[in-house]
Amino acid sequence: MAPDSDPATRYQPAPGGRPVELIIGKKTAARAIFVTPVLIAIFGMTGGMAGAVAAAIGVAIVAINFVLAGYILSAAARVSLGLYHAAALFGFLIRLGLIMVAVLLIARVTDVDRLALGISAVASYLILLTWEAVAISRGAERDMQWTS
């Protein structure tokens, strides 16, 4: 069997390679700076100060989630391809659960607009995820080291 045909060796990250997933997660979270003011304005007009604060918190939770996803995937990629796949699947489910727990905890502990918090978290997640997918599909991340 040729060395290039063995999947276990072909898909190993380059030693000392860039943590591509973490970089993408940070770029996605950084785009929240454009989404946050829009959601704050919308929920500030509809729900007052409580709605504006809830929108900011919702976007912050989602931005932290994207950075956490990048970190988990980058760390798993350094170990093995199987762990990377497991981190992608189970990490997604765990991170969605963490978002839910954070939103419920914040809604219970603080006096924010619960509807604004939930809608801003879902809306910012979908907007940021779509924005990153479009950016990658258009080649905005060509400078990234995708293979070893």
Sketch the domain layout of the chain as residue ranges: 19-136
Q: When comparing pLDDT for 52 and 137, which is higher?
A: 52
**Residue 56: which pLDDT band, with cuts at 50, 70 and 90?**
very high
pLDDT in tens, 90-146: 988 999 899 889 988 988 898 889 999 999 999 999 999 999 989 888 876 666 655
Mean pLDDT for the chain overall? 85
| pLDDT value, residue 147 | 47
pLDDT at 29 over 50: yes
| pLDDT value, residue 107 | 83
| pLDDT value, residue 148 | 43
| pLDDT value, residue 112 | 86
Q: What is the pTM of this model?
A: 0.81
User: Do residues 29 and 89 touch, judged by C-beta distance below 8 A?
Assistant: no
Question: What's the average model confidence in pLDDT over 11-36?
Answer: 82
**Residue 57: which pLDDT band, with cuts at 50, 70 and 90?**
very high
**Residue 4: which pLDDT band, with cuts at 50, 70 and 90?**
low
